[in-house]
Copies of this chain bind each other. A is one copy, B any other.
Amino acid sequence: MGGEPRLGDVFGSMIRDAYAVQTGIGTRPLAGGRLPRPVTEIIERDDGLINGAPSAHYFAGPEDWEPYDHRAVARVRGATLDVGVGAGRIALFLQERGTPVTGLDTSAGALAVCRRRGVRDLVHATVDAHVADGRRYDTFLLLGNNLGLIEGAERAPAFLAALAAMARPGAQVIAQGTDPYGTRDPVHTGYHERNRRQGRLGGQLRLRLRYRELGTDWFDYLVCSAEELATLVEGTSWRLVDVDDRDAPYYLAFLRLAG
């Protein structure tokens, strides 16, 4: 009965509108043709769960970051690839600090906002495609829950191999994740159980993003425990050398290139 969203750059459209609402630059989405409408990120899970959240956090300055973001950037060193640069909050901070940082994203709209905000080095690609560009890095950053980009047990080895192929000796990955298993909400525990029965990791979410008339295809996004991550890293070129879970259920995982 309901129409399906149109495929498009969902994240980029949202970030562009959120930027317009924040700065007055560009066209703002209007309610009733007049009042600026708050820009909401909508995430749909394949069991019918849907959540909306304000998009302003993509533009948060360091004073509004979570504590673990500060502890993450404190350990960044050398040439840094910000994987899933979003609206550029982390890349801008590193750039101003003098850290050479490259922002990578698959969203052209998000990159356009990053450029407008002053991020100088931006690449429109997946990690896999970026390998061929011949760039090499000392730090790979996956903040804002972007550990999820490893998707699951099938995708993780290839994702981590792409990072390794771009890694200088001694390189590190700093990734922020969330342990999903502390909840007793049956909407979530039931989802985790169904996943496991299908041979997936409990928190291997099947999601799509929606924004106004646009939607993404369904994709996997992994929300896993640090223990599950340790298992996924086994047998790759990386070693899990540290987990900072002072802000549990959120954690920072630190990987180091082996050898």
- Name A's B-contacting residues (CB within 8 A): 1-6, 30, 32-34, 37-38, 40-42, 44-54, 178-180, 182-183, 185, 187, 208, 210-213, 215, 218, 248-250
- With both chains docked as a complex, state the minimum distance between the C-beta of A250 and any C-beta of chain B, in angstroms: 7
Q: Output the nearest chain B residue to A27 by Cβ-Cβ distance.
A: B185
23 A-B pairs with CB atoms under 8 Å apart are: A1-B46, A2-B44, A2-B46, A3-B46, A6-B48, A30-B185, A32-B179, A32-B250, A33-B182, A33-B249, A34-B182, A34-B248, A37-B53, A40-B42, A40-B51, A41-B52, A42-B52, A48-B213, A50-B210, A50-B212, A51-B212, A52-B52, A187-B212
Q: Output the nearest chain B residue to A6 by Cβ-Cβ distance.
A: B48
Contact in complex: B47, A213 (CB < 8 Å): yes
A185 cross-chain contacts in B, Cβ below 8 A: 30, 33
A180: which of B32, B178, B179, B180 is its contact (CB, 8 Å)? Answer: B32
Of A3, A48, A208, A250, most B-chain CB atoms within 10 Å: A48
Contact in complex: A183, B30 (CB < 8 Å): yes
A52 cross-chain contacts in B, Cβ below 8 A: 40-42, 52
**Cα–Cα, bound, A126→B1 (Å):** 24
A4 cross-chain contacts in B, Cβ below 8 A: 48
- With both chains docked as a complex, state the minimum distance between the C-beta of A4 and any C-beta of chain B, in angstroms: 5
Contact in complex: A3, B48 (CB < 8 Å): yes
A42: which of B32, B34, B45, B50 is its contact (CB, 8 Å)? Answer: B50
